[in-house]
Amino acid sequence: MNKLRTIEQNGCFCVREKKATRVFYLCKGGYGKMEKMKVLAEWSYEPATPMRGYSGKSLKVNVGEQTFEAKDVSEDMKEHFTGGRGFGLKLLWDSVKDTTRWDDPENEIVISGGPLCGVTQYPGMGKFYAVFVSPLTEQTYDSNSGGHFGPLLKFAGWDAIEIQGKADRDVIVFVDADSKKVQILESPFDDVNSYTVTEALHEHFSNPDDINDRRFVTVVSSGKAAEHTFWGCLNTSFWDTHRKVVRLKQAGRGGGGSILRDKKVVAIAVRTHDLSGTANNPADIDTLTKLSQKIHKEIFTLDSKQCRMRTAGTSHLNEIMNEYHLLPTHNYKFGQHSEADKIHSTVYEKMFTQGIADGCWYGCTMSCAKAVDAFELQTGPWKGKKVTVDGPEYETCAGLGSNVGVFDPFWTTETNFYADHYGLDTISLGTGIAFVCECYEMGYLTKEHTNGLDLHFGSKADIMELIHRMAEGKDEFAKIVGQGVHKMKDIFAEKFGAPRDMMEKFGMEGQGIEVSEYVSKESMAQWGGFFLTLKGPQHDEAWLIFMDRVNKQIPTFEDKAEALHYFPCFRTWFSLVGLCKLPWNDVEPADNTTKYPPQEAAKVPEHVQNYVDVFNAVTGKNITKEDLIQQSERVYNFQRVFQLRLGKGTRKFHNIPDRALGPVFADEWEARTEYYDNELKETGTDPAGLSVEEKLEKLNKARRAQWEDLVDAVYKRRGWDRNGIPTVKKLKELDMAYPEVVAVVEKNAKPEDQWKD
């Protein structure tokens, strides 16, 4: 301890190795040496005190020009963009050009939590949303994360932070409310992987005499693989006071980590000791407390009978998805597998340490941030070390499990750890490798192309090796894979002679990003839930499979369109105010289904009203549940116009691969012959006497026609024209007809695309 204190007092950086724990610092100059954290630029500020959920200020740091700027958050911005993702999009809009691409210096990573972010009374209120122009989709992307960064950023005085520019060397941005300074520091790290950087910074920026002082620090970082792929995630840390380790949560999707590393930012760190249950200064703490008591009681009494989030986390979905033919297996070919019992949630439940408060923000009794402790790594640079692994969550169990043909929870846990450490999104990684495996099995790829790797489904050792190669950045094939399915299709065709038309059928991506881990081919509404989204097939807009396919609550195109209006808007609201969606409907009041009719019960009305009341209690406003949807609809349409401004955002970019619509190959049909024969009958074709190939072709043709009908119905309901562009009338209705927004619409909209009726 004395040695550490001396190091900190000297303004130097500690370089050392702790063999018994995960901590393994490697900085410039090698082990056992120290190097100063050189201050490249510094700026003083007076931290604003958050009032009613807003600090009223946003911070812009340009790491290339080494400049700092504080901006006021206007009342107009609060009214029309609310916060979080809304603020991120507004700030990004003001900072980029129409031609901006992901690696241009003016591109930004904007991080904002929203007015409810940091509430500790109600569960699930510690999320931030990162917004940027994505390397995968070449349009705006928003990605969310738990952890402590969003709340601490606000309590350090900032509703949002913009990171712009490109540094000329590796840097760390340090926002320090304690010393009232923002600094750009020269990074001392040779190893920029997340656990290395995060552990070291939590320790460095905290009081060495009190290990739990590390909870006042939080870090956003990525890793080596983010430098060599477009799948870079943003890891967000929090100090686990029970385990005494740093934990990582991820804003995984869209390639934010790749942008961070392209800017040569190793980490963004925040420190503040101004942390309390009322740091948001809510307007009505009594109401907030009262609302919260009821939901905590619900979670404590009902979770064990409902979703078991507190013991299994989201892995409780593993066997459920398998049972309903929704667990992606072998690149979404199948939705079920005979070995799925091996990844049953009860297996993971035993691996997760139980009895620890696993909330990723204070007060979250859902406690779903499960972790595997003392996990001994079997491969890679940390082989033999015992580490704490965050997760695996459902998406990782499926993506780096069944979808790549592996049913080994220990292997999945190891890939989870290294994906986090290297800064890789486990969803894109899983879906991307699943595509590679299918190409390999089809004979489009050989060991010659993969530099010796056998990439059949289930090739555990070689898939693991591919992941390590992505981080090393030396292997050309690994770098091709890391560009994502959309670009792999081009490269495999051009370089390896693979058939483009076939890969188009089973390359599971939309708008340039990989599909998240659910089989959508059985639900027409879910085609839209994935592929009629703002940013590509991610499950954070609308998951409608049960509602559509099992409950049969939305039989017509108009019903589906209504669901594809309401739920994306409702879900968008979480991203504006700083919430996790899980406490909305992964636990429900005991009387939800006896108090409300089915269509209403599906929305969990009591929890919706809770959110309205919490918003009003924090901000002092007086919104209704209808206003909540309008807040979202404003930002939803603004983002759609933003995509249009960047050259996307029209109908042709709402593409859907054949496999998302239905079976592509004979073995997929034959796995469920009776089911698919009935499906074909429902389209008006008698399957009798047809070959499987003929059936596949006819069902695909029918479903393509249904897809176009769905697109029309959804665009109409959303107030968009036939080409998917929001109308000026819609923007005016939403009070979003800013001149620069209308100008983008008027430049692109065509008279022939307007609805006649």
Partner 1 sequence: MISVNGDSMEWEEGLTVRDIINYKKYVFPLLGVWINDVPVSRDDFDETTVPDEAKVQVIHMISGG
Which of 306, 346, 700, 723 is the binder for partner 1 (CB under 8 A)?
306
Contacts (CB under 8 A) with partner 1, residues 336-355: none
Residue 484 backbone class (left: φ over 0; alpha: ψ -120 to 50; beta: rest): left
User: Considering beta carbons, is residue 18 or 595 the nearer one to partner 1?
Assistant: 595
- Which contiguous run of DSSP H or E holds residue 72? strand 67-72
Which of 320, 493, 690, 728 is the binder for partner 1 (CB under 8 A)?
320
CB 128 to partner 1: min, Å: 19
| Virtual torsion, Cα 304, 614, 280, 251, nearest 10 deg | 60
**How many residues at the interface with partner 1, by CB under 8 A?**
40
Contacts (CB under 8 A) with partner 1, residues 561-590: 563, 566-567, 570-571, 581, 585-586, 588, 590
Residue 443 binds partner 1, judged by CB under 8 A: no
Cis previous bond, 392, omega within 30? yes
Piece of the chain touching partner 1 by CB under 8 A; list 60-68, 340-348, 451-459, 538-546: 538-546
User: Considering beta carbons, is residue 164 or 572 the nearer one to partner 1?
Assistant: 572
- Which contiguous run of DSSP H or E holds residue 530? helix 524-531
Which of 68, 87, 543, 611 is the binder for partner 1 (CB under 8 A)?
543
User: Considering beta carbons, is residue 461 or 590 the nearer one to partner 1?
Assistant: 590
CB 729 to partner 1: min, Å: 27
Residue 258 to residue 261: CA distance in whole angstroms: 5
Residue 518 to residue 310: CA distance in whole angstroms: 23
CB 594 to partner 1: min, Å: 4
User: Considering beta carbons, is residue 386 or 603 the nearer one to partner 1?
Assistant: 603
Piece of the chain touching partner 1 by CB under 8 A; list 24-32, 336-344, 451-459, 537-545: 537-545
User: Considering beta carbons, is residue 603 or 698 the nearer one to partner 1?
Assistant: 603
CB 308 to partner 1: min, Å: 8
User: Considering beta carbons, is residue 374 or 550 the nearer one to partner 1?
Assistant: 550
Contacts (CB under 8 A) with partner 1, residues 590-619: 590, 592-595, 597-598, 601-604
Residue 541 binds partner 1, judged by CB under 8 A: yes
Query: Using CA of residue 70, residue 71, residue 72, residue 75, what is the dihedral sign?
Result: negative
CB 753 to partner 1: min, Å: 29
Residue 734 to residue 753: CA distance in whole angstroms: 21
User: Considering beta carbons, is residue 9 or 338 the nearer one to partner 1?
Assistant: 338
Is residue 748 within 8 A of residue 650, CB to CB? The reply is yes
Is residue 96 within 8 A of residue 107, CB to CB? The reply is yes
Residue 711 to residue 83: CA distance in whole angstroms: 30
Residue 751 binds partner 1, judged by CB under 8 A: no
CB 542 to partner 1: min, Å: 6
Bridge-based pairing state of the strands 265-271 and 171-176? parallel
User: Considering beta carbons, is residue 295 or 371 the nearer one to partner 1?
Assistant: 295
Residue 544 binds partner 1, judged by CB under 8 A: yes
Binding mask 679-708 for partner 1 (x = CB under 8 A): ------------------------------
Residue 286 to residue 282: CA distance in whole angstroms: 10
User: Considering beta carbons, is residue 195 or 584 the nearer one to partner 1?
Assistant: 584
Is 154 exposed, middle or buried (CB count within 10 Å of its CB: 0-12, 13-18, 19+)? buried
Residue 612 to residue 424: CA distance in whole angstroms: 35
Piece of the chain touching partner 1 by CB under 8 A; list 44-52, 257-265, 305-313, 429-437: 305-313
User: Considering beta carbons, is residue 546 or 665 the nearer one to partner 1?
Assistant: 546
Tell which residue, 239, 260, 252, has the closest CA to residue 152.
Answer: 239
Strands (DSSP E) along 178-241, which ranges? 181-186, 217-221, 234-240
User: Considering beta carbons, is residue 166 or 308 the nearer one to partner 1?
Assistant: 308
Contacts (CB under 8 A) with partner 1, residues 545-564: 546-547, 550-553, 563
CB 644 to partner 1: min, Å: 25
Tell which residue, 691, 659, 654, has the closest CA to residue 502.
Answer: 659
Contacts (CB under 8 A) with partner 1, residues 39-78: none
Tell which residue, 140, 118, 98, 153, has the closest CA to residue 362.
Answer: 118
Which of 542, 576, 579, 628 is the binder for partner 1 (CB under 8 A)?
542
Going by the DSSP 8-state scheme, the letter that residue 110 receives in this structure is E
Residue 324 binds partner 1, judged by CB under 8 A: yes
Query: Using CA of residue 574, residue 580, residue 585, residue 588, what is the dihedral sign?
Result: negative
CB 41 to partner 1: min, Å: 42
Two structure tokens written together for 299: 């979670």
User: Considering beta carbons, is residue 183 or 538 the nearer one to partner 1?
Assistant: 538
Piece of the chain touching partner 1 by CB under 8 A; list 94-102, 208-216, 301-309, 338-346: 301-309
Binding mask 482-521 for partner 1 (x = CB under 8 A): ----------------------------------------
Residue 732 backbone class (left: φ over 0; alpha: ψ -120 to 50; beta: rest): alpha
Residue 647 to residue 666: CA distance in whole angstroms: 38
Residue 674 binds partner 1, judged by CB under 8 A: no
Which of 72, 178, 323, 735 is the binder for partner 1 (CB under 8 A)?
323
User: Considering beta carbons, is residue 334 or 543 the nearer one to partner 1?
Assistant: 543
Is residue 668 within 8 A of residue 334, CB to CB? The reply is yes
CB 420 to partner 1: min, Å: 23
Burial 264-275 (b: 16+ CB within 10 A, else e): bbbbbbbbbeeb
Which of 19, 305, 652, 756 is the binder for partner 1 (CB under 8 A)?
305
Piece of the chain touching partner 1 by CB under 8 A; list 97-105, 354-362, 542-550, 681-689: 542-550
Is residue 553 within 8 A of residue 562, CB to CB? The reply is no
User: Considering beta carbons, is residue 104 or 323 the nearer one to partner 1?
Assistant: 323
User: Considering beta carbons, is residue 189 or 584 the nearer one to partner 1?
Assistant: 584
User: Considering beta carbons, is residue 57 or 571 the nearer one to partner 1?
Assistant: 571
- Which contiguous run of DSSP H or E holds residue 348? helix 345-351
Written in H, E and C, the secondary structure of 463-510 is HHHHHHHHHHCCCHHHHHHCCCHHHHHHHHHHHHCCCHHHHHHHCCEE
Residue 159 to residue 156: CA distance in whole angstroms: 9
Is residue 518 within 8 A of residue 540, CB to CB? The reply is no
User: Considering beta carbons, is residue 377 or 563 the nearer one to partner 1?
Assistant: 563
Two structure tokens written together for 403: 């979808």
User: Considering beta carbons, is residue 346 or 553 the nearer one to partner 1?
Assistant: 553
Is 733 exposed, middle or buried (CB count within 10 Å of its CB: 0-12, 13-18, 19+)? middle
CB 587 to partner 1: min, Å: 9
Residue whose tokens read 């050259």: 647
CB 323 to partner 1: min, Å: 5
CB 573 to partner 1: min, Å: 11
CB 311 to partner 1: min, Å: 13
CB 34 to partner 1: min, Å: 48
Is residue 511 within 8 A of residue 639, CB to CB? The reply is no
Task: Tell me which residues touch partner 1 (CB under 8 A).
Answer: 305-308, 319-320, 323-324, 539-544, 546-547, 550-553, 563, 566-567, 570-571, 581, 585-586, 588, 590, 592-595, 597-598, 601-604
